[in-house]
Structure 1
Amino acid sequence: MLRASNFLKEINVSRQPLSRLIHVAMLALCAPAMAASGTPAANAHDVLPFKATEKTLPNGLKVIVVPTGFPNLVSVQIPVQTGSRNEVEPGKSGFAHFFEHMMFRGTKDYPPEKYQAIITKAGARQNAYTSDDLTNYYTTFAKQDLETVLKVEADRFQHLSYPVEAFKTESRAVLGEYNKNSANPMQKLFEVQREAAFSTHTYKHTTMGFLKDIEDMPNQYEYSKQFFDRWYKPERVTVIIAGDVEPAKAIALVEKYWGGWRRGTAQVPVPASEPAAKGAQYRHVQWQTPTLPLVTVAFRQPAFSDTQKDQAALSMLLSLSFGRTSPLYKRLVQDEQKVDQLFDFTPGRVDPSLATIGARVKKPADALYVRDAILKTIAQLRNQPVDAQNLAHAKSAEKYSLIRSLDNTEQIASTLASYVHYQRSYGTLNRYFRVVDSLTPADLQAAARKYLVDDAMIVTTLSHDALDPLLSKLPKLADLDSPPAAPKFDVLVQKTSLPQVRFKLLFQAGSAHDPQGKEGLAALSAAMIAASGSTERRIDEVTRALFPLAGSFSVQTDKEMTTFTGTIHKDNWKQFMDIALPLLLSPGLREDDFRRLKDTQRNALQLDLKDNNEEEFGKERLQANVYAGTGYGHPVLGTSKGIDAITLDDVKAFQQKAYTQGALHVGIAGDVSDEMVAQLKDALARLPAGPGLPATAVPQGHKPNGLEVEIIEKNTRATAISFGLPLEVTRSHPDFPALWLAKTWLGEHRASSSHLYQRIRELRGMNYGDYAYIEAFPRGMFQFFPNPNLGRKAQLFEVWIRPVAPQNGHFALRTALFELGKLVDNGLSKEDFEATRDYLMKNVFVMTATQDQRLGYALDSKWYGTPEFTQMMRDGLAKLTVADVNAAIKKHLSAKNLSVVIITKDAAGLKEKLVTDAFSPITYDAAKPQEVLDEDRAIGAMKLDIRPEAVRITPAAQAFEQ
């Protein structure tokens, strides 16, 4: 006969429906399964769809009859209100479980063989289990045998008889069962946990009992009779009859066979109350054979109640936080795969007991990490209420899980038994689920604050291999998630009537912070925030969640700064915050996302930049050459070897140091409420409070003596030219407005009125565009205005000649240098100065016309320490004179000492032309004025004086390799 004296019975699963059984591995050791959990049905608040008949006999026996609607079968369940909780005498633990065994030893009228023959003839399925608070006996059989079963069950409950020899034999079987169960490390862990948790109450020992007591059981024959006479009495027993039954006839049969059972007369001892816990405890179990490490965290939990909320609230909270739908489960089990089992165990008990969270860890080295992840989640529960929708979903799951389980008579009866034993009432289950249905996020948070406290915490570990000694040092929960302190950053607010809300999170962390040999780390770390999901959601889930909201969360990384931008309609603000902010605050950091984004970044460098875009390639190469040896000496994307060398651990370490409150500037724009600003600040206050990465030095650019040329040899139809020199002038420099005006006249980006455009494209038709810059303008070929948030400590004066025919490359370079030389030597005329200034006084508003630009430029002003950009530029332009501009040009610009990058197919041929100063002719398809042709001859013969050693040829494949 299989009797339910096994592991989950040991850890007291008397109310399995809401205790959420630990896991498959443990279920193999557990008592026969009871019902799944549920919440109240929608109609009349009753979760059970059955009409029950209840009657208490004069002797105190409770009878509950439930017609289930399933034909032919009946299940009789007999829960007795005695379990290991009632083993109050020292040295006598384990007797409740022992009597589960002895009840099958028979009586004078029905000895074991005869009793078993009757049960077999009835085609019955029979078993029993013991828990902390009850022992339950159950039999399921054909309805024709109801009277027989009730008769023999009544006999063994009233007349159990066993000789001392049978008692001793069974006591050795119980010891054998203990020894069998002791092979399960979880059982031993729970034994140690409970011994640590309780000093006085009988929950200190498991249902099996203390080993020394089990070993002494053969000597306790007389006590066994005393235990049976004390507890197996009608006033502590309920007979549940469910199935194809007629209530009146069933009750009559119970009265016939059970009515003569006499009430108990012995005084019933009450377990001593457990004193308040006095501090967090740690226990470790050294396991003798190889096994995976176990980590559990337990707290005192309240007694079961079908009227008070505390126990139901705590049970629901831990299920939401550690169950299979929880973010932590997704993180530890699915994503990081550090754990193969994560469970919560909150059994309902008659007296206050333990709520446990546990994990089975794959590697001993991860045990501390897993413990801290559990503790941090617990700490957060005290400060952050659960989402109301998630709670509603959990209630729904409870309800439908229970309903799904009620698909046969035995399951219905066993579910009832697991609740009936508390008060011997059919209504307990319905009342309890009304409590569950009434739970609110505030109730769950209140339970967390009341019960998830340091003094009541017991951390227990088990392992064969050595674990980190820091496991024995228990942190304070408040230290893991204290309420956010005042944030270390300000929020710049631009209130408008625009319902679209945009925020920018600017961190002082960029590619200038890339470690040597890991070039590209800043960009990849930022991409892992914006494009790899959170611990809660994978990136595809984030994308799907944002789709109906039309929201976005994107990133831009540059030399000195990384900017995350979120945009959403104000109506969808809260949903967006719940989806987008976790990307930064709890990034997913999954290995598969890391590999994907690393490949994407490598492809962006090698294919999108080098192979597919000679013009942007040339600009990046010029920047790298001018600032070689500094943090600006490689593209933001990195180098090929640098990207290959980056590991996921590198990304994690960079993020931890870089994305801190001390490195953060925040801006928000749109129809923003004060509450929204506060919510954003509160969320970001969860970032580490550190200062961020060390400040970078101002990079010192290389200033050539003459023209220094790198020719990138690439199989391409066109020739791209970029040249320039390092510039110490940034927005905080007094000469910035003057140089801004000069570059605008010379080559405003995509402006057909600018001088270079007119002389090279419009007059000669040589190419697409000719532009000049005094600030970085990445992605220039795709947009009219530069993005904000590209602040740099040093800039580059640059002229960009968009592609020319290879045969005109030499002439195009000479032409651009010719026009630049005239500007440097002669300056601007007063007429050109005033026309350009008038244009810029208004164009600055166009530059900052969008919500993104206004907010971004405002943050840039804070970073540079300057006034608001439009005001600064208009004030600066208004004060300028043509003499100021021309003086700034002469001071900062040159047409002779420049770095040049040219991307072309025939590198050797072009080098030969450059170093020999060969005449560079140009031909036109249409006639040109004589003055143009005369100027062409002068330009074509202009001496550039480029020394052979100042020209190097680099195959395109080698650029940005390391």
Structure 2
Amino acid sequence: MTGGGLLLALTLLALLVLAPGQARAQLFEPDSFTLDNGLQVVVLPNHRVPVVTHMVWYRVGAADEPPGKSGLAHVLEHMMFKGTDSIPPGQFSKIVARNGGRDNAFTSSDFTGYYQNIARDRLETVMEMEADRMANLRLAEEDFQTERDVVIEERLSRTENEPSALLGERLDQALWSVHPYKNPIIGWAHELEALTRQDALDFYDRFYAPNNAVVVVAGDITADELRPLAERTYGTVPADHAAPERARVRDLPPPVDVTVTMTHPRVAQASWWRRIIAPSHNTEQAELYAPLQVLAELLGGGPVSRLYDSLVMEQKVAVSAGAGYSGRAVDFGTFSLYATPAAGRTPADVGAAVEAEIVRLLDEGVTEAEVEGAKTRLKASVVYARDSMFGAARIVGAAMATGATLEDIEGWPEAVAAVSAEDVMDAARAVFVGASSATAILKPESTS
């Protein structure tokens, strides 16, 4: 049930979350209130059509799983559709569909989300259903066994039969070492097979509570209209005494620089990737959050970026090349580089070309004109997010589930506007000098 648009939503999220203390601007014009049980409710008004997107975000993900129980958060996501005393097993999505809506769910390393797109006059129905399963999940042993097998099969089809996914798992293991970000969200096969119904219930009891959740509603409704609905539904769910602590490994080992190479008969085109541990908006270097976004756009954000211009257009060593930054994490972020070799070229060729561009960047710096161009492109990229109820709700919910505030999100334009060329170079040194990195090379089986 992981949504296909998660990557796009998280990319947009990476553009919108920023370090605390920035000035407020109006991106989504949100309103917010908190119920007596600790549940925060955010409203994003959009009155174009009588429709809403309703999302529930829990501050728990794959990185919060107990050691040896990878995949548990995702398995529980599946279990949440198995019913309560009020809703028979397997009926949740059918009820949503009968009311003219659609629903789904998704799990990441840092959060789990559930959503419904539905007509405004059916909103209270889905709020009642979500509040019900927040507190009253019923999980039979047979249902658990069935859904665990579904997830195991999902792993087989989406990971074990996909060479790039397999190599991505090995890359994360090499990069993160002892940190739980090393574990795949879908889980390791042998650990999935060992999960029990009690594991799922314990995880549910620990993390699924109103004071560990955020509800975001985007669409044809105001905060004044939503508050009584929220009080009648979610307001009846008792809070835990305290929000659960996220017992993470906060310290990383000394920096490493490792390379993982894999050949596979199903690979037709070689590729080269690199991931680097980077500051997030939750680290001590949170001031680099916006500069890292600008750096990623300037270096590899599209056809006018340095990497594309040099590797694809000038040298013709690659058919694609780029960079990205994700600082949305509860703990550490990542800065990524990638390139696909042109015909007759190897991953080593494109890797050397990327590294040469990084050396040039560190030696020569960046110009204010480049920085201004990157900032303009970044700000243009979020215009469409304002027009989408689903996109806006997903961006805001994921940001808040990883520690951002509404003020952080709304102040994003000012944070980006304040980035200077010197700030971008500080960001470049943070990720390209002394940080842990892992490089992946994927080759066809016949490639030497």
Residue 399 of structure 1 corresponds to 379
Question: What amino acid is aligned across from residue 342 of structure 1 in structure 2?
Answer: A
> 1:145 Cα deviation (Å)?
0.5
Question: What amino acid is aligned across from residue 356 of structure 1 in structure 2?
Answer: S
CA distance in 2, matches of 1:206, 1:338: 32
Q: How many residues align?
A: 439
Question: What amino acid is aligned across from residue 125 of structure 1 in structure 2?
Answer: R
- Pair 1:238-2:218 in alignment: no
CA distance in 2, matches of 1:135, 1:186: 24
CA distance in 1, matches of 2:139, 2:79: 8
> 1:139 Cα deviation (Å)?
1.0
CA distance in 2, matches of 1:155, 1:97: 20
> 1:108 Cα deviation (Å)?
1.6
Q: Superposition pairs for residues 184-199 of structure 1, below 5 Å? A: 184-199=162-177
- Pair 1:372-2:352 in alignment: yes
> 1:295 Cα deviation (Å)?
0.8
> 1:418 Cα deviation (Å)?
2.6
Change (3 A) 1:203 1:38: closer
Which secondary structure does the structure 2 equivalent of 1:375 belong to?
A: helix
Residue 150 of structure 1 corresponds to 127
After superposition, the C-alpha distances for 1:35-60 in whole angstroms (9 at most, x for unaligned) are x8799xxxx8514152x321111211
Change (3 A) 1:211 1:360: farther
- Pair 1:442-2:422 in alignment: yes
Q: Superposition pairs for residues 59-78 of structure 1, below 5 Å? A: 59-78=37-56
Residue 105 of structure 1 corresponds to 82
User: Conserved in 2, the CA contact under 8 Å of 1:38 and 1:433?
Assistant: no
Q: For 2:25, which of 43, 46, 56 is the aligned residue?
A: 46
Question: What amino acid is aligned across from residue 2 of structure 2 in structure 1?
Answer: A
Residue 465 of structure 1 corresponds to 445
- Pair 1:327-2:303 in alignment: no
Q: For 1:222, which of 198, 206, 222 is the aligned residue?
A: 198
CA distance in 1, matches of 2:39, 2:17: 29
Percent identity reads 26
Which secondary structure does the structure 1 equivalent of 2:81 belong to?
A: coil
Change (3 A) 1:271 1:115: same
Which secondary structure does the structure 2 equivalent of 1:299 belong to?
A: strand
Residue 341 of structure 1 corresponds to 320
Question: What amino acid is aligned across from residue 223 of structure 1 in structure 2?
Answer: D
Change (3 A) 1:316 1:158: same
Question: What amino acid is aligned across from residue 323 of structure 2 in structure 1?
Answer: D
Residue 12 of structure 2 corresponds to 17
> 1:461 Cα deviation (Å)?
0.9
- Pair 1:273-2:288 in alignment: no
Change (3 A) 1:93 1:377: same
Unaligned runs of 5+ in 2: none
Q: Superposition pairs for residues 117-516 of structure 1, below 5 Å? A: 117-182=94-159, 183-217=161-195, 220-265=196-241, 268-305=245-282, 308-324=286-302, 325-348=304-327, 349-363=329-343, 365-423=345-403, 425-454=405-434, 456-465=436-445
Unaligned runs of 5+ in 1: 20-35, 469-962
Which secondary structure does the structure 1 equivalent of 2:233 belong to?
A: helix
Change (3 A) 1:70 1:412: farther
Change (3 A) 1:364 1:295: farther
- Pair 1:4-2:6 in alignment: no
> 1:268 Cα deviation (Å)?
3.3
Residue 642 of structure 1 corresponds to none
> Structure 1 length as normaliser, TM-score?
0.43
CA distance in 2, matches of 1:97, 1:369: 38
CA distance in 1, matches of 2:256, 2:28: 45
Residue 948 of structure 1 corresponds to none
CA distance in 2, matches of 1:246, 1:322: 40
Change (3 A) 1:338 1:104: farther
> 1:363 Cα deviation (Å)?
4.4
CA distance in 2, matches of 1:55, 1:293: 51
Change (3 A) 1:76 1:311: same
Change (3 A) 1:332 1:311: same
User: Conserved in 2, the CA contact under 8 Å of 1:130 and 1:136?
Assistant: yes
CA distance in 1, matches of 2:57, 2:393: 11
Q: Which has the higher contact order (CA 8 A, sep 6+)?
A: 2
CA distance in 2, matches of 1:356, 1:270: 26
> Structure 2 length as normaliser, TM-score?
0.90
> 1:15 Cα deviation (Å)?
2.8
User: Conserved in 2, the CA contact under 8 Å of 1:419 and 1:428?
Assistant: no
Q: Cα RMSD between the aligned structures?
A: 2.5
Which secondary structure does the structure 2 equivalent of 1:406 belong to?
A: helix
User: Conserved in 2, the CA contact under 8 Å of 1:14 and 1:131?
Assistant: no
User: Conserved in 2, the CA contact under 8 Å of 1:131 and 1:207?
Assistant: yes
Which secondary structure does the structure 2 equivalent of 1:360 belong to?
A: strand
Q: Superposition pairs for residues 625-774 of structure 1, below 5 Å? A: none
CA distance in 1, matches of 2:384, 2:170: 36
Question: What amino acid is aligned across from residue 341 of structure 1 in structure 2?
Answer: S
Change (3 A) 1:237 1:244: same
Which secondary structure does the structure 2 equivalent of 1:290 belong to?
A: coil
> 1:84 Cα deviation (Å)?
1.2
User: Conserved in 2, the CA contact under 8 Å of 1:38 and 1:401?
Assistant: no
CA distance in 1, matches of 2:67, 2:9: 23
> 1:336 Cα deviation (Å)?
4.6
User: Conserved in 1, the CA contact under 8 Å of 2:28 and 2:44?
Assistant: no
Change (3 A) 1:328 1:214: same
CA distance in 2, matches of 1:244, 1:273: 41
CA distance in 1, matches of 2:282, 2:414: 11
User: Conserved in 2, the CA contact under 8 Å of 1:293 and 1:463?
Assistant: yes
Change (3 A) 1:414 1:195: same
Which secondary structure does the structure 2 equivalent of 1:309 belong to?
A: helix
Change (3 A) 1:296 1:113: closer
> 1:148 Cα deviation (Å)?
0.8
Question: What amino acid is aligned across from residue 203 of structure 2 in structure 1?
Answer: F
